Structure 1
Amino acid sequence: MAKEGVGDDEPADEGAEDFPIHPDPDPIGDAAESEWDEEPAAVRAEPDVEQPPDGPGDGPAPGRRLGAIPRRALSGLGVAAVARLPAIRAAVLPRLPRLALAVAAGLLLFASFPALNWWWAAVVAAALLAWVLIHPATTPSGGFGYGFLFGLAFYVPLLPWISSLVGATPWLALATTCALFPGLFGLCAVSVRRLPGWPIWFAVLWAAQEWLKSVFPFGGFPWGSVAFGQAQGPFLPLAQLGGVALLSTAIMLVGFSATAIALEIAKWWRAGREDGGQDGKPPAVVLPGVCICLVLFAAVIVWPQVRHSGAGAGGEPAVTVAVVQGNVPRLGLDFNAQRRAVLDNHVRETLRLAEDVRAGAAPQPQFVIWPENSSDIDPLLNADAAEQVARAVAAIGVPIVVGTILDLPGRTPENSAYTNTVIVWNPVTGPADRHDKEIVQPFGEYLPMPWLFKHLSGYADRAGHMVPGKSGGVVHVAGVPVGVSTCWEVIFDRAPRKAVLGGAQLLAVPSNNATFNQTMSEQQLAFAKVRAVEHDRYVIVAGTTGISAVIAPDGAELVRTDFFQPAYLDIQVRLKTKLTPATRWAPILQWVLVAAAGAVILAGIRHNGWFPRPIRLRSGPRGETDDAGAAPGETPPDQGGDHTPPDGGDDDTPPDEGGRPDFGRHRGAT
């Protein structure tokens, strides 16, 4: 089997005898030999003329001779490159449609995310990617290449907000790392495409690669899961059935099945034209059609329940919650140097809320939520910071959930470890329940493997020294169990699920996006919408600079703030206690999908003959030879005879037993 880079073509099995292969002389070798051989001949033919010296002395010019060496080398390389152009053109041109479709698919998947929110683009992206991978000429290594190219086209435009913090190099490095996972999907998809029902196996493999990216490396990076681009799509209710894993799998399954149907119809139409429309079998579209119908049916079934929950029906108790967005002095990495100004901004906005409450312009909240890092000074050690927080609490007269940092005991300049903490501050008793951030961000809040990365990049010195905490993810505020997942934690399935299973009746997402732009905040808001539907909870998003919002259990935005504007939100929400199927069983579904992906990969490898099958020797009666099954005058297969099946069909004999490698032979779309 030929090896390839991106999308190498496989030679077709049928009709190979019509195209005899002749040895092709090496254009590079010929060109290089002629270039190097002609020069010495010309030099020997020149008359022996004394050359003027380059400087003092009578010797030859060494500089001129040394300069001729690189000129000859460059000339040889140029001739070799020109000689290779026809071969390169012949290799690239057949792959151009697949290369273009892989890039287009990645861009379409990006378009399904904020700020465009074209939810349908994810389905089209899956369909185009499936066509590229199911193409008979795409080999496993080509599948990796096309998948990697698809990933680059998706992640590079999805993550540019990182460059505003640390520059373009980390942004492109992260996008490239993320693109490896769609590449791995492409490799595995090509390996299993000949199995019956390939759209289902493609969707299962996609779910497995999303899971792998969410746990590896350095704790994972779930940003970019297909489900997070469906916050405004009609399939969003599926998140309540099976969480992010089911929603992503369903979207990709619809796209893959659409491609299967299109390929089968095209195959049926071509067959009908060839035989004049006689005895044409109907296209095999039942299985992919059933897959699409099942996804639509599931979304329709669960949609009324989601809408009913978002409407506030059910008689759940209601509470009034306020969110304060104090803003920061300016955008940029150095906002931490102005920690006191950030704290003062949130105190000032809380005092304005208290004045509006006394004036009757706003309802009295039962508690107030401040964003992450709203007090970037430890209020348990700094008396001035504690006084400012207590002042705001006394003015509003209710507890405030404060996002802060807490220094660990024994902190020194050499060991400046701290936790990212959300702490409840009561009007009378002061500090109470707290949640220490459990999932910390690599390369931002801490530096993994400092012994390596400090020597590779100067950006490593910008990482913090945050350590993960241990908590249940729930704080009690004014008697209400509130689940807390910070802006980084909310993208991981386990954080909000742990809070809801711990009794949270309301979810809060304190975030700090002061070092990023509005696009990042919009994407993060989409994550919160998916979590609201997944766990049937109201979600309160509180940001230092925005976007702050209140999201209903059906994913609808009830109210939101502008970006980089001091503001507050004051709204009534309902407390929810029921557990959704996703909250209960989504982890089980995730593991089922991962296990199924592993099983189907093994089945695909076995089906393609990559595993050697043991040869079982059958002992016959005495006097019977091993070639008893051969016709008179024929050479048995094990002695070099013809091993081609009598029907001229595909050879299913493993390659190690004399069979032909069968990658690339198209067996239908399903």
Structure 2
Amino acid sequence: MLLRTLLASVCGVGLALAFEPVALPVLIPFCVAGFVLCCRGLRARRAWLPGLAFGIGFQWTLLFWMRAVGTDAWIGLASLEAVFLALLGSLTAVLVRHRWWPLWVAAAWTAIEVWRSGWPFSGMPWGRLAFATADTFVADALPWIGSVGVSFALALSGTMLAWLTVARGRERRTPALALAALVAVLLVPVALPWQADMDGEQVVAAIQPDVPGPGNDILYDPRGVTQNLVDVTGRLADDVAAGSEPQPDFVVWPENSTTMDPFEHDDLNASISGAARTIEAPILVGAIVDAGTDHVLNQGIVWDPVTGAGERYTKRHPVPFGEYIPARKLFTRQFGRLAEVGRDMLSGTRDDPLTIARTEVGDAICFDVAYDDGIYAQVSRGAQMLTVQTSNATFIYTHQIAQQFAITRLRAIETGRWLVVAATNGVSGVIAPDGTVVASAPTRTQAALVEQVQLTTSVPPSVRIGPWSGRICVFLTALGLALALVPYRRQRNEHVVPPEPELAGAESRSE
């Protein structure tokens, strides 16, 4: 058991290396196979242990960047996520009893992935297998089957590899052929890629202002961040006037363009309006807006040079214990640092894209990009392109920046849309629908990225499928458990020794 546990933890670390900054996605099937083999042959009540070891190795390594918030935050979040893998270990131990166990275990892996991506407190999607595929042929399948479908395919490759490992003699032919067939299916989108019909174009500018001071504290000089944005936008306006840059149809500022409510501070309001008039284009401004005495909103606000503030997108997935405190009375008494979150951030519910300069724009704020719901909803309702407004200043010296940018690239591929990222101090960029980074700005720099992007209203199959792929995986997991447990219980009952005839007769007489 000790050896299984140690090997499981090594496989977990190996899976983390499939993601940025190491980015070795070829490790995925081998690490998934290692997980399965470490749990196979154990009873469910013992298999959670190698599952937990795998989860600790995986999540503690992947989320090491959370130490920028605090060691307690890193260990707490990573350990919570590891518990889901412990449960998966027990599920795997049961599901491998069935003949077609590679299918059921892959479905369980994906179902657990979907579950932990939405629960508790809106979940934590980091570490979904699909998020490691940005520069692989597997990414071409994203517009067809979505992130959930790609995760299932990758998990299935691992379970089939485990099947091939334990098969003997001629029995190895079946898993070998099944694995080859899976690879062939995943190569189909490479030969027949999904293509969106482009029906227009816009010139979009993304502004990266840099954060004053050490760069990892957005509140070090909040007015300085806004002033930097005004200054960089003003320099872009000068370049446009000089003819060295094209006139943008609209401009994207990052999350936390102002952490002070621009509707409560006249000077900030005037600065933003002045910048919009200077560039002669609407600006999508990231702002923290008051929502009463106890709550705030994290919003992307369309700021017109003539009419001022207009349509708004509100962040759908605020970060628990970072932007709001669940059960505030309980937790703030236990952990003093949580008291720094003075007001709770409310979640947004908008499904429709924003209209900016006659363009339907699907917006996401920071961690929103890792969740399917908001992006799928806006694309299905006509978003012609995507924007991501992000701050990430807290994590600027960590690998979180690279991991989130990789997820962002995959969203462009999955939706078949151009995507513009504006970050406070990195990484800002413009991404084509095939995941190519057309332009980017290094971290801790000021930059104005101006690019012509194409627009589309084509909706890929991944968005049309929506949450159903996850629901199917949950159903398959339940079905696999039923098929595995019923024969198991029947087998146990067959091994029950019947009572001796004399004893049975004595019992009958006593009754």
TM-score band by shorter chain is over 0.9
Equivalent residue for 2:278? 395
| C-alpha separation in 2, matches of 1:461 and 1:169 | 15
Distance in 1 (alpha carbons) for counterparts of 2:28 and 2:371: 21
Give the aligned residue type for 1:600.
Answer: G
The 5 A counterparts of 1:570-589 are: 570-589=450-469
Structure 2 equivalent of residue 336 of structure 1 = 219
User: Aligned residue for 1:429?
Assistant: 307
Cα distance change, pair 304–353 in 1 and its aligned pair in 2 (3 A): farther
Q: Which residue matches 1:513?
A: 392
Contact 1:372 1:512 in 2 (8 A): yes
Question: What amino acid is aligned across from residue 423 of structure 1 in structure 2?
Answer: I
Taking the aligned partners of 1:333 and 1:459, their CA distance within structure 2 comes to 17
Q: Does 1:603 align with 2:483?
A: yes
Distance in 2, Cα, partners of 1:145 & 1:547: 38
Separation of aligned partners in 2, 1:331 and 1:536: 37
Does the Cα contact within 8 Å between 2:304 and 2:310 map onto a contact in 1?
yes
Deviation at 1:220, TM superposition (A): 1.1
Higher strand share: 2
Q: CA deviation at 1:120?
A: 0.5
2:295 aligns with 417
Q: Secondary structure at the match of 1:482?
A: strand
Give the 3 Å change call, closer, same or farther, for CA 315–245 of structure 1 in structure 2.
Answer: closer
- Mean Cα deviation higher: 602-611 or 576-585: 602-611
Aligned residue among 285, 291, 306 for 2:173: 285
Q: Deviations over 1:229-265 (max 9, x none)?
A: 111222112221221111111111112111211221x
Identity %: 31
Matches of residues 471-550 of structure 1 in structure 2 within 5 Å?
471-517=350-396, 518-550=398-430
How far is the alpha carbon of 1:185 from its aligned partner? Answer: 0.6
Q: 2: distance between equivalents of 1:305 and 1:459?
A: 52
SS of the aligned residue for 2:298 comes to strand
Long gaps (5+) in structure 2? 502-511
Amino acid at match of 1:148: L
- Using structure 2 for the length normalisation, give the TM-score: 0.93
| Deviation readout 1:85-134 (Å, 9 max, x if unpaired) | xxxxxxxxxx32x2332122111111111111111011211121122122
Normalised to the residue count of structure 1, the TM-score between the two structures is: 0.71
Paired letter, 2:257: S
* Cα drift, residue 613 of structure 1: 7.0
CA distance in 1, matches of 2:456, 2:428: 21
Shift of 1:327: 0.9
1:149 aligns with 2:53: yes
Distance 1:160 1:325 in 2: 26
Q: Distance in 2 between matches of 1:454 and 1:374?
A: 28
Q: Give yes or no for the alignment of 1:303 onto 2:190.
A: yes
- AA matched with 2:419: V
Partner of residue 244, structure 1:
147
Structure 2 residue matching 1:485: 3-state secondary structure: strand
Q: Is the Cα contact below 8 Å between 2:273 and 2:308 reproduced in 1?
A: yes
CA–CA separation in structure 2 for the residues paired with 1:211 and 1:456: 30
* Pair 487,315 (structure 1): closer, same or farther in 2 beyond 3 Å: closer
Letter in 1 for 2:391: N
Secondary structure of 1:215's counterpart equals coil
SS in 2 for 1:390: helix
Counterpart-to-counterpart distance in 2, 1:559 and 1:519: 20
Q: Deviations over 1:472-506 (max 9, x none)?
A: 25111100000011112111110100110121010
Cα distance in 2 for partners of 1:472, 1:100 equals: 45
Q: 1:475, 1:483 within 8 Å by CA — same for their partners in 2?
A: yes
Query: Structure 1 pair 291/510, CA: closer, same or farther in 2 (3 Å)?
Result: farther
Equivalent residues, number: 499
Q: Separation in 1 of the partners of 2:355 and 2:389?
A: 15
- Deviation of 1:200 after TM superposition, in Å, equals 1.0
Per-residue deviation, 1:305 = 4.7
Alignment of 1:212-361 (within 5 A): 212-264=115-167, 267-268=168-169, 282-286=170-174, 288-306=175-193, 314-331=197-214, 334-361=217-244
Taking CA–CA contacts closer than 8 Å with sequence separation of 6 or more, which of the two structures ends up with the larger relative contact order?
A: 2
Equivalent position SS for 1:218: coil
Distance between the aligned counterparts of 1:565 and 1:541, measured in 2?
Answer: 15
Q: Secondary structure at the match of 2:386?
A: strand
Residue 73 (structure 2) aligned to one of 170, 173, 196? 170
1:124 paired residue number? 30
- CA–CA distance in structure 1, aligned partners of residues 492 and 46 of structure 2: 24
In 1, are the aligned partners of 2:225 and 2:257 still within 8 Å (CA)?
yes
Equivalent pair of 2:5/2:49 in contact (CA under 8 Å)? no
**What letter corresponds to residue 189 of structure 1 in structure 2?**
T
Instruction: Go from structure 1 to structure 2 and tell me whether the alpha carbon gap of 1:475 and 1:129 turns closer, same or farther (over 3 Å shift).
Output: same
Q: Is the 8 A contact 1:245 1:586 kept in 2?
A: no
CA deviations over 1:4-31 (Å, ceiling 9, x no partner): xxx4xxxxxxxxxxxxxxxxxxxxxxxx
Superposed counterparts of 1:58-207, under 5 Å: 95-96=2-3, 98-134=4-40, 136=41, 138-165=42-69, 167-207=70-110
CA-based RMSD of the aligned residues comes to 2.1
